Amino acid sequence: MFGLDYSWLGDPVYQRWLVDGVWVTLQLALVSSLAAVAIGLVGALGQTLRLWWLDACIELFVEIFRNTPPLLQMLFFYFTLTQIGFTVTDPVTGLQHPLLSAFVSAAISLSLFGGALCIEAFRSGLDAVPKATLEAARSLGYTRLGLFRRVQAPIAARVCLPSLTNILTNLFKTTSQASVITVPELMYAAGQVYSDTFRTLEMMLMVLLVYVTLVSLLAWALTLAERLLAYPGYGKGF
């Protein structure tokens, strides 16, 4: 159909490469998404403590990792850290080996990049809780912790879910850059297959379809969570 040739899909070697590639993409996306959300929570909570030196540290972290390309960060963790001495010595051969593997380098940089974006998203969620609501809760006798747990956090979570969906879908797509530091994810596998078969258009269409499917599933799950958690005035209900 349309002159497209997908006969190479029948090749077991290419099937294995592509399935393995999708699997690595999923692993990388999952690990870095969880870590990014965790970093975001810690950072946003840290900012509520109102300690000037902690705020300064968090702000510096956000500025560095939000404002640099993830590809550059991956190359930094993969090559530069090794160059400046992040190595382990092999007890048998005495050779210096890099401390961070390609997957770990990619996962760390994606986590920090996503984490920086999450801190900002969660902070904006906390900031969005109306002052009047907080004052009302305080006048009802909530302690600082109780106020946060029962009033501020539930509202903030619902406010920042849409931007979290954006961040995580973006992070999922950014995993494709890890092919540059040899993480054998979907794009890495796809590149080798079309180099062998010359079916570049067919391969790209297929990769496109896989990403659309996977990212749509992720976005759909997060939207569902948004709806389930919705309450009047915050989040989108059914």
Partner 1 sequence: MSPYNALIGGVTATLLLGFAAQAQSDTLADIRERDVLSVGIKNDYPPYGYLDENNEIVGFEIELVRYIANELLGSPDKVELIPVVASNRIELLNSGRIDLIMATLGVTEERAQVIDFTEHYVSAAGASVLARQEARFDQWEQLEGQNVCGIQGAYYNRTLTDHYGIRLVNFTALPEAYRALQDNRCVAMVFDDMTLRQKLGEPGWEGYKIAVEPYEYLPMAGGVRKGDEAFLDAVNAAIVKAEGEDRLIDWEGEYDMPPSDHIAARAEAARAVAE
State the minimum distance, in angstroms, from the CB of residue 16 to partner 1: 9
Report DSSP letters for 25-72, one per residue: HHHHHHHHHHHHHHHHHHHHHHHHT--HHHHHHHHHHHHHHHSS-HHH
221 binds partner 1 (CB under 8 A): no
**Terminal CA-CA length for the chain:** 40
User: Is residue 177 near partner 1 by the rule CB under 8 A?
Assistant: no
Residue 56 near partner 1 by CB under 8 A: no
How many residues lie near partner 1 (CB under 8 A)? 19
Residue 73 engages partner 1 in binding (rule: CB under 8 A): no
| Single residue of 169, 179, 211, 235 touching partner 1 by CB under 8 A | 179
| 7 part of the interface to partner 1, by CB under 8 A | no
CB closer to partner 1 out of 20 and 229: 20
Cβ proximity to partner 1, 97 vs 149, nearer residue: 97
For residue 9, the cross-strand partners are: none
The three-state secondary structure class of 164 is helix
Smaller CB separation from partner 1, 73 or 152: 73
- Would you call 13 exposed, middle or buried from its count of C-beta atoms within 10 A (0-12, 13-18, 19+)? exposed
How far is the C-alpha of 215 from the C-alpha of 210, rounded, in Å? 8
Residue type, 80: T
φ/ψ of 87, rounded to 5, equals: -135, 160
- Shortest distance, position 27 Cβ to partner 1, whole Å: 17
Q: Using CB under 8 A as the criterion, what x/- string covers residues 93-122 for binding partner 1?
A: x-xxxx---x--------------------
Residue corresponding to tokens 């809760």: 137
According to CB under 8 A, which one of 180, 210, 215, 222 is a site residue for partner 1? Answer: 180
Closest C-alpha among 125, 147, 119, 123 to residue 134: 147
Chain residues in the site for partner 1 (CB under 8 A): 13, 79, 82-83, 93, 95-98, 102, 179-180, 182, 188, 191-192, 195-196, 198
